[in-house]
């Protein structure tokens, strides 16, 4: 045999042997030798995202039924975290620039610094005016179907500089998506940007082109746009900017105009979000749009709000779970929520934060990949808002004194956004008693963040249990805690 053939044979044999070597077996997760750092926010104390010591695991292979436990299983993984953040509206930006410089810096650090703040990574902003603008405005002149007068100069005064400042404070990157409240008045059958109305069919293509114009204009300003929703609250006739679509109308606009236009303009990678309204009609809207393959191919996910409570009912998490189960290949994203009917005397109301904690835990456990608060900052009146729809924000600026007022909503949101990173995987988590609410994520660095919330008046002793190891601790009445295992 020639030497060359012999060497070739040996190389082939060696490659064959190595290619058949078994892959290294992944060891199951073990909490042995892990420590738990605990951070708490508690009613009736000054503890706000406060360190609460370290917990140690001990062996507890079979806990008795008499114990209260929070079970966590890192081997069972679900959706990936996109991010947590809030809306950067005209009202936010205008209020921000009424603050003294030191308070502006404080706000940016509080929201966007990953170490000293709560590390927001997700943002939403409005296309044209919304209720949280000082007045109605448009980017085009009246009757300009060709959009030749398109100009975002209005936004360059406050909103664009603020978004840039927030992005810089976040380390140079924010996942930003955009939403319209209304097309220009001439494109609507009521000739009004307010009070509902519908998009006239003859302006469907022009309106689709409008989204592209906006995205290109913002990106020319150095603000990358990750995604967009079709319409804010498409089933509501509001006193402010609004536009109505039935499920079939939204489906057909996506299928015939907006989706194809985005793709033709090189924006196939932009994430298109449908619905962007309350949980009550979430499944009906999702099924109508997503059961049409010609529309569904353009859709990244379904956005939802929490205002189904306007009827006096609670938050309808079951619809969110059902929608995720029925359409697991599409993403769920919480696109807006705030506590309405602002009252300055309620800034210390503990219910504000508990509403956030309840929603966030249940939304994440239902499969939601991202969670976006409404305005991150408003003034001492709950505005500015040009139709008097004043609301709460996690932080308010008292423009009379130049001070920032932090509600407990800010800290409740922070228990998630500060410790659960983009790219984290939700893992199995369940409490043995319904008095405790919980969700858990494993971060890209391997650390585990477990959020435990207690809405009761009781002090509850419990153990964090992971694969036969348990760490004992206490949940104070009306508290939220994040337990970081590493």
Q: What is the pTM of this model?
A: 0.94
What integer pLDDT is reported at residue 209 of this predicted model? 99
Grouping H, G, I as helix, E, B as strand and the rest as coil, residue 10 is helix
DSSP-H helix ranges across 309-396: 317-326, 351-365
Whether the CB-CB separation of 72 and 450 falls below 8 Å is answered with: yes
Cβ partners under 8 Å of residue 327, min gap 6: 286, 287, 290, 302
Domain boundaries, the chain: 35-79+427-485, 83-422
Whether the CB-CB separation of 245 and 234 falls below 8 Å is answered with: yes
Q: Which two tokens stand for residue 334?
A: 């919480």
The answer to whether the 35-79+427-485 and 83-422 domains have the same CATH topology is no
Whether the CB-CB separation of 137 and 181 falls below 8 Å is answered with: no
| Per-residue pLDDT tens digits for 182-239 | 999 999 999 999 999 999 999 999 999 999 999 999 999 999 999 999 999 999 999 9
pLDDT more than 70, % of the chain: 95
Q: How many Å apart are CA 32 and CA 70, to the nearest integer?
A: 17
Find the catalytic residue in 94, 241, 250, 336.
336
Q: How many Å apart are CA 325 and CA 217, to the nearest integer?
A: 37
Whether the CB-CB separation of 408 and 120 falls below 8 Å is answered with: no
336 is catalytic: yes
Per-residue burial over 304-330, b if 16 or more Cβ lie within 10 Å, else e, is bbbbbbeeeeebbbebbbbbbeebeeb
| Per-residue pLDDT tens digits for 91-120 | 999 999 999 999 999 999 999 999 999 999
Intervals of the chain under pLDDT 70:
1-23
| Per-residue pLDDT tens digits for 351-395 | 999 999 999 999 999 999 999 999 999 999 999 999 999 999 999
What integer pLDDT is reported at residue 10 of this predicted model? 37
458 is catalytic: no
Q: Which two tokens stand for residue 210?
A: 């409008």
Q: What architecture is the 35-79+427-485 domain classified under in CATH?
A: Sandwich (2.60)
Q: How many Å apart are CA 470 and CA 169, to the nearest integer?
A: 38
What integer pLDDT is reported at residue 25 of this predicted model? 79
Domain 83-422 sits in CATH 3.20.20.80: yes
Q: Is the peptide bond before 208 cis (omega within 30 degrees of 0)?
A: no
Find the catalytic residue in 233, 250, 354, 476.
233
């Amino acid at each position: 045999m020639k030497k060359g053939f012999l060497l070739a044979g040996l190389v082939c044999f060696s490659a064959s042997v190595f290619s058949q070597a078994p892959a290294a077996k992944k060891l199951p997760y073990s909490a042995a030798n892990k420590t738990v750092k605990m951070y708490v926010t508690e009613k009736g104390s000054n503890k706000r995202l406060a360190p609460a010591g370290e917990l140690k695991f001990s062996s507890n292979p079979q806990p008795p039924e008499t114990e209260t436990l929070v079970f966590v299983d890192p081997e069972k993984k679900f959706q990936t975290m996109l991010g947590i953040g809030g809306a950067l509206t005209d009202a936010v930006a205008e209020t921000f620039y009424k603050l003294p410089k030191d308070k502006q810096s404080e706000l940016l650090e509080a929201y966007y610094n990953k170490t000293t703040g709560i590390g927001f990574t997700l943002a939403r902003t409005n296309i044209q005016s919304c209720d949280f603008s000082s007045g109605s405005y448009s980017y085009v002149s009246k009757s300009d179907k060709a959009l030749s007068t398109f100009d975002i100069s209005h936004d360059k005064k406050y909103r664009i500089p603020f978004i840039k400042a927030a992005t810089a404070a976040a380390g140079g990157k924010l996942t930003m998506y955009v939403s319209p409240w209304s097309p220009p008045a001439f494109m609507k059958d009521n000739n009004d940007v307010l009070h509902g109305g519908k998009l006239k069919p003859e302006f469907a293509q022009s309106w689709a082109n409008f989204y592209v114009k906006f995205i290109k204009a913002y990106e020319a300003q150095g603000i990358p746009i990750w995604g967009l929703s079709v319409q804010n609250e498409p089933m509501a006739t509001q006193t402010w900017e609004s536009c109505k679509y039935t499920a079939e109308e939204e489906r057909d606009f996506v299928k015939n105009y907006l989706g194809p236009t985005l793709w033709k303009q090189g924006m196939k990678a932009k994430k298109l979000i449908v619905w962007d309204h309350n949980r009550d009609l979430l499944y009906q809207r999702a099924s109508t749009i997503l059961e049409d393959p010609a529309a569904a191919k353009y859709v990244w996910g379904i956005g939802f709000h929490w205002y189904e409570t306007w009827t006096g009912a609670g938050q309808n998490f079951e619809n969110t779970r059902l929608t995720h189960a029925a359409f697991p290949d599409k993403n769920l994203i919480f696109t807006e929520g705030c506590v309405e009917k602002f009252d300055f005397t309620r800034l210390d109301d503990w219910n504000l934060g508990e509403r956030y904690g309840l929603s966030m835990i249940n939304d994440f456990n239902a499969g939601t990949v991202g969670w976006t608060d409404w305005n991150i900052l408003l003034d001492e009146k709950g505005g500015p808002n040009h139709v008097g729809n004043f609301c709460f924000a996690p932080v308010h600026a008292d423009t009379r004194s130049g001070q920032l007022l932090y509600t407990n909503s800010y800290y409740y949101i922070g228990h998630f956004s500060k410790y659960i990173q983009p790219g984290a995987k939700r893992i199995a988590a369940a409490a043995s008693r319904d008095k405790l609410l919980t969700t858990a994520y494993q971060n890209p660095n391997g650390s585990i963040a477990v959020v435990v919330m207690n809405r009761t008046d009781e002090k509850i002793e419990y153990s964090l249990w992971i694969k036969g190891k348990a760490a004992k601790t206490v949940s104070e009445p009306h508290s939220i805690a994040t337990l970081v295992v590493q």
